[in-house]
Structure 1
Amino acid sequence: MASTTTNQTASALPRISADTIVLILLSGAAASMSFDIWGKVVAPLLGFGGLAPVGLARGFLGALGLPNGAPYGNLMHLFLVGMIAYPVGWLFIARPIFARVLPGLHWTIASALYGAALWVFAIGFIAWFAGNPAFLGFARITWVALAGHVLYGVVAAATVVYLEKRTA
């Protein structure tokens, strides 16, 4: 039952607790590492080009008129977005919605769809807001980013599933 989005855990909002905070941080860390390894190591080795999420975060901060040096871009990408915002989005928004709207959908499909939605948000909206073309003009890097965001979604959800099974 834990492999679908229909179980009680998936459809209910998580309790705010120390365990939930640890779950958010661990799933975000695992997913961020997988995203960065894909986008900065594997994709370039395969000839697809490399991702520059810190540069995008810096551009976004600058567009808001906020300090946008490298430390701020790293803080935004790695910690605020990668380790907190996106995992919170999965646990508190996407997973409960999928469980109610598409009951029985396996978590891998739901999390891949969540990753694709993150891509639309990051590369479609944030890139445009930061002064780049929406979806970065659909260049080759756009598709590397799509794969990275889908990977992020699946790894974050897999970490949640694994940790929830261990504590059940």
Structure 2
Amino acid sequence: MSALSVKTIGSMFIAGFIATLAFDLWGQVISPMLGFATLSPHGLAKSLLGKFGLPNGDFAGYFVHFYIVGLIGYPIGWLMIFKPVWQAVMKNRGGVFLQSAIYGFGLWVFAIGGITLIAGLPFFLGFAGITWVALVGHVLYGIVLVAVLNRIARS
């Protein structure tokens, strides 16, 4: 398990920031330009906050999506849960690209398959176009997150 040193936390924030930008660029710019659905991840966050009776305006939705999830939650999930479990079970087989893509897939299942239900939304958002754009976005997030973390570690 990675120790939460100042360097690790800084690396996590930088990688999470860049990965979240990649996710949002794909889901809010590239995907709609290609004729696919437009992601609105802050909408899921707003629904979840509202389900718990918390403030759920646009600011709160963006704050949860970008800061809590993108910069903190998902990077911690990689560093403290997925990566150590993968190393223990798979002995680092499969390469970092496969690991990061599977992590992104797991994020998609967690967010679009699980959080949507908790938020009172349809399971996997009814498997509409947004579901598949979100799949690509979450896998992209995982790949970018790990690539940036590895690049920082090498420097």
TM-score range, shorter chain: over 0.9
Aligned length: 154
For normalisation by structure 1, the TM-score amounts to 0.90
CA distance in 2, matches of 1:124, 1:15: 30
Aligned residue identity for 2:63: L
Cα drift, residue 21 of structure 1:
0.8
Residues 9-66 of structure 1: per-residue CA shift (max 9 Å, x gap) = xxxx112211011011011001000000000000000011100000110000000111
Give the one of 26, 38, 47 matched to 1:50.
38
For 1:9, the equivalent position in structure 2 comes to none
Match of 2:125 among 126, 136, 149: 136
> Is residue 112–residue 150 contact of structure 1 (8 Å, CA) maintained in 2?
yes
Other-structure match for 1:102? 90
Q: Give the equivalent residue in structure 2 for 1:91.
A: 79
Question: What is the distance in 2 between the residues matched to 1:140 and 1:28?
Answer: 25
Tell me if the contact between 1:63 and 1:131 (Cα under 8 Å) persists in the aligned partners.
Answer: yes
2:7 to 10, 19, 40: 19
Check whether the contact 1:57–1:73 (CA below 8 A) recurs between aligned residues: yes
Q: CA deviation at 1:139?
A: 0.7
**Aligned-residue identity in percent:** 47
Q: Which moved more, 1:30-39 or 1:119-128?
A: 119-128
Does the CA contact (< 8 Å) of 1:98 and 1:105 recur in 2?
no
Runs of 4 or more above 4 Å deviation: none
RMSD: 0.8
AA partner of residue 83 (structure 1): L
Cα shift at 1:105: 2.1
1:125 corresponds in structure 2 to: 114
Gaps of 5+ in 2: none
User: How many Å apart are 1:99 and its aligned residue?
Assistant: 1.2
Contact 1:24 1:88 in 2 (8 A): yes
Letter of the structure 2 residue corresponding to residue 75 of structure 1: F
Q: Which amino acid aligns with 2:136?
A: A
Gaps of 5+ in 1: 1-12
Shift of 1:125: 1.0
| In structure 1, distance between residues paired with 2:117 and 2:88 | 32
Amino acid at match of 2:108: W
Cα distance in 1 for partners of 2:89, 2:3 equals 21
**Cα deviation, residue 144, structure 1:** 0.4
